Structure 1
Amino acid sequence: MKNEFKSGIFFTAIAQYSTVVVQLILNMVLSRLLTPEQIGIVTTVQVLILFFQLLTGTAIAPAIVQNKELKPEDYGVIFNYTILIGVITSLFFGVVGGFTLSTIFNDPIYIPISWSMSLIILTAAMNQVPNGILSKEKRFKAISLRLAGASIISGVMGITAALMHAGIYSLVITFTMIEAIILVLNLRLVDIKVTRSMHLGPMKKIFSFVKYQTSFLLLNYFYRNFDNLLVSKFFGAKPLGNYSRSYQLLSLPITVFLSVVNPVLQPILAEHEKNVPLIRDTYLKISQILAFIAIPVSVFFSLNAEPIIYLLFGNQWGGAVVPLKFLSLSIWAQMLAQMMPAIWQARNLVRIQSFNGIVSLGTICISIIVGISFGSIDTVAIAVSISYIINFIISGSLLMNRALEGKFRLIVRNLIKPFILGILLYAVLYFTQDFTNILNSFVTLLVRGSIWLALIVVFLYFSGDLKNIKQLVKNNE
């Protein structure tokens, strides 16, 4: 398990970091060529696209990983169903989605944008079976190279289109092509037995897992996109563009770390489904390391929202600064909470996970409505940040009690020192802000980042946690 985990982390990190770099460069270029309103339009379509993707079977890949009874011939049958569902759903989205959005927002641009992006639904559906097979076989190197290659190619295509004045369609090209390229590579990497059969046997084997996992993903979708939907409806495309840019930056550190850990956790821990002490210890060890990363990152992003926004996106995105300040305070809670689904899946407790999703939906949606009622995206950001912290406490308690046979205080114990470090960082960086505001955003972030990193290293060294973290990583079996 130790070697598999290290190998998986290594290759997944290569792919995810390549993807993050490409996306960051793409966003930096497009944010200077496109307006907040244009990006807000594409974001609105993306929100609806994500919903339809969930309906086409996003839960199939983890179901394949978890199920021990599937045979090679079953994969071809399931693949046939993903094609059928993908075709029907993408056509439905092209017809109904575009018309609905154009009617709601009184803008015909949503119709061609929706048709253009409907290909994402079909290709994402068709990717589920090969994705599941690759993960189940722990072919992390192949998964990583595939994702990195698709990200780079689609990113280059998007930037090229933007420089050729494709406007809003440069974003559409980027988002559409990445899934299409992954599909082509998947079909070369995975040998799926071709069959005309549509018998229900293979689907029945994964139905229970898919049903509960899909219900959780739908609940997760609503509470993670409810703010975007309401901001778009009540405030318009431009405020949504600013809000989505701030949320996108908030998601960056979460993606950087969790996209490396989560894809590896479930395939490996699924083989130890009944070994609760092993899964609990693994979760606590990894969450402790993540806490020492996530809490300092929350502090840095919150205190440096302005130079980060202006450096990456330019001065026209000033409206995203305040939302990023408040949203960043929840980075640590979101990072630790988003690690939990992999544990639920590894324990094959997706039914309880769905209940957790219902609680999360209620908590976060109520907070968003409160934030909207105060009339600005800034208050929405405050409400969202608070709700994610509350959600982490509720979800962590449920996970420890129902899946890991432990108490929430075990998680709290892991957070004491990281929070002390976070308070120290906040105090030092806050009171030195005026002295470190030098020349331009880049130099300012460089100086503040150096102080931030030095304080972290010194704290971890003198507290003994640097040595402990190294030992945890070394001995993680």
Structure 2
Amino acid sequence: MNHDKSHTDDTVRGLSWNSLRVLFQTFSSIFVIALLARFLPPADFGLMALAVFVIGFGDLLGTLGMGPAIVQRKELSNQDVSVAQTLSVLIGSIVTVCVCISAHFVALYFEQPMLENMIYILATTLWLSAFGAVYRGLLIRRLDFKSIFLVDFSGYVFGYVLVTITCIFYELGVMSLVYGALAQSILMTCLLIIANRQLLGFSFDVSIAKKLMYFGTGQSLNGAVNYLAANIDTLFIGKFLGPTSLGLYSRASQLMTLPITKLATSISSVMFSSYAQIQTNKPLLKRNYLAVVELTALVIFPILAGFFIGAHWLIVGLFGDNWQDIVVTFQILCIAGLFKTVFNLAGSIIQALGLVYNELLRQCIYLVVLLLGCLFVVSFGVEAVAWVVVLASFYLYVSLNQLVLKLIECDWRLFFQAQKPGFILGLIIIAFGVIFNVLIERFFSAPAELLLTLFIIQCAIVYVGAILWLPSSLIGSMPSQVLQRFSHRLPLSMFNFIAKYSVHSLLRDKV
């Protein structure tokens, strides 16, 4: 029992630091996206999306999953680490060379000559990522998300943001995004080494390599298929509809996935290490997974609901009038986001139990559904492609969680019940959003930036009010549990105010 409590405390601390990292990255990313959209045309973002797709795919193959393999191993020796580092750097070097060779042919395929130089420069980040993969894996294994937060914070602010904005002022155009990404990668790799306080050595042992590569290869292939599936819509739009349409679509997709990639995926990275440490304790696995699903849905479902009903204010307020054409596409992608949020959580528990190839099969079917769907509908435009993403996301939501629920011996009723609070809060956000839209259209006229600010304030008030005053029968006990656990970090007067006016007895009892 004490071991379970200690494990839970370590996990909560990891989630706390990861949540801080997520909040920073989410808000800073929105700010940077909005800023860059004012200075660069949609076509530039389309070119960068194509280059990033090539590099991102290479990145997944380049590390051969050595970072996650280090996290997943129950017992870890120094030789395991050095062999993993050797494999990661070796494969990363090979993949980097292959990507450089393919740059010319990629540029020819998409009929975009500038892509070639962009890929050459960004290929450097592949090798840097491979070199730093095991360092990051060691931090995750120790649940040291404070260090990861500092690494990511520094790399993003002093690498990507600072360099990109400087290059924009020197009128370097799309290359500003390239140089920013390169600077971020260099800085983060250096900081990962510093955070581990050691320079990893290199060695090779066939038996250790086989064990690491069995899990790592499955993890890497699974990630590659998932990455292809997540970007297949980008490929079809870039090839058949051109860089401007791709630039518009990629901005909508990136904005929608921000809360998912920054929160759900980061929670999964914490829980992967946590699940791996308790992989034989099914009751604890079940309890933790349902709690993570409930907490994630409680946060992200209302955000996606706000995105959906306030799409016009969000797009025009952040990006400007030139981006109005993506409003409907953005709303459709928000529906897909509901399914993506939850299936992103399933992967961590499947991988922690070592069943990466079971997940791989489902990811392959997901990829085929997307591939065939996009092939048949791309001629109808980006909105049709977005509906294909919704359909495929629903399939993977059902398929992955069917496997997870079987593994942790849980039924669908408890699984849906865990998502109910988030779904209810989302419906409330939409209801108040409809009222806001009607009132604005009839009685108020102001700049889009001001209306966006008012919409965000309204959503925040509605969300906090619902958390405090809706009964547990509607929103569950998770809000009061979270507030109670972190009550010592809140000012006493604030906690007393929350407890006094909340309907949740857990909080009132603590006053």
Taking structure 1 as the reference length, the TM-score comes to 0.93
CA deviations on 1:199-235 (whole Å, 9 max, x unpaired) are: 4333222122112212211220121011000011110
Q: Is 1:75–2:81 an aligned residue pair?
A: yes
The answer for the alignment partner of 2:326 in structure 1 is 320
Aligned counterpart, 2:107: 102
Structure-2 change in CA distance of 1:21 and 1:301 (3 Å): closer
Rate the CA distance shift 1:417–1:267 in 2: closer, same or farther, 3 A: closer
2:173 to 167, 173, 196: 167
Q: Match of 2:226?
A: 220
Query: Offset of 1:31 from its aligned partner?
Result: 1.3
Q: Which runs of 5+ in 2 are unaligned?
A: 1-6, 486-511
1:31 corresponds in structure 2 to 37
Tell me if structure 2 keeps the 8 A contact 1:76–1:192.
no
Aligned to 1:447: 454
Q: How far is the alpha carbon of 1:364 from its aligned partner?
A: 3.2
Aligned to 2:124: 119
Letter in 1 for 2:164: G
**Contact 2:335–2:390 (CA under 8 A) maintained in structure 1:** yes
1:94-118 deviations in whole A, cap 9, x for unaligned? 122x211221122321111111111
Which residue of structure 2 aligns with residue 470 of structure 1?
479
Contact 1:8 1:264 in 2 (8 A): yes
What are the equivalent positions in structure 2 for 1:409-448 lying under 5 Å apart?
409-437=413-441, 438-448=445-455
Secondary structure of 2:143's counterpart equals: coil
How many angstroms apart in 2 are the aligned matches of 1:168 and 1:51?
A: 20
Q: Which residue of 1 aligns with 2:133?
A: 128
Give the Cα–Cα distance (whole angstroms) in 2 for the partners of residues 442 and 93 of structure 1.
Answer: 41
* Contact 1:37–1:238, Cα closer than 8 Å, also in 2: yes
1:346 aligned residue (352, 368, 371): 352
| Equivalent in the alignment of 2:276 | 270
| Amino acid of the structure 2 residue aligned with 1:270 | A
- Alpha-carbon deviation of 1:376? 0.5
Q: Secondary structure at the match of 2:228?
A: helix
Taking the aligned partners of 2:140 and 2:106, their CA distance within structure 1 comes to 36
Instruction: Give the match for residue 371 of structure 2.
Output: 365
Structural RMSD (CA): 2.2
1:327-380 residue CA offsets vs partner (Å, 9 max, x unmatched): 11222211111111111122222222222212322333343334314x201111
- Cα distance in 2, alignment partners of residues 14 and 457 from structure 1: 19
Distance 2:36 2:66 in 1: 33
1:406 matched residue in structure 2? 410
> Would you say how many aligned residue pairs link Structure 1 and Structure 2?
473
Identity of aligned residues (%): 22
- Match for 1:455: what amino acid? V
Worse-superposed segment, 68-77 or 223-232 = 68-77
Is the partner of 1:138 in helix, strand or coil? Answer: coil
**Letter paired with 1:61:** G
Aligned CA distance change for structure 1 residues 451 and 30 (closer, same or farther; 3 Å) = closer
- Counterpart of 1:18 in structure 2 is 24
Q: Which runs of 5+ in 1 are unaligned?
A: none
Residue 463 of structure 2 corresponds to 456
Using the TM superposition, name which of 275-284 and 416-425 deviates more: 416-425
Letter in 1 for 2:401: G
Residue matched to 1:378: 383
Contact 2:62 2:96 in 1 (8 A): no
Specify the code of the residue in structure 2 equivalent to 1:103.
L
Query: Which structure 2 residues correspond to residues 287-306 of structure 1 after superposition, within 5 A?
Result: 287-306=293-312
Which residue pairs with 2:150 in the alignment?
145
Determine helix, strand or coil for the equivalent of 1:433: helix
Letter matched to residue 450 of structure 2: V
Change (3 A) 1:185 1:456: closer
Shift of 1:12: 1.7
Q: Please give the per-residue CA displacement for 1:113-138, whole angstroms capped at 9, x wherever unaligned.
A: 11111111111111111111111122
| AA partner of residue 413 (structure 1) | Q
1:4 to 10, 21, 25: 10
1:386-419 per-position Cα deviation (integer Å, ceiling 9, x unaligned): 3313321222222212x21222232122234443
- The aligned residue for residue 48 of structure 2 is 42
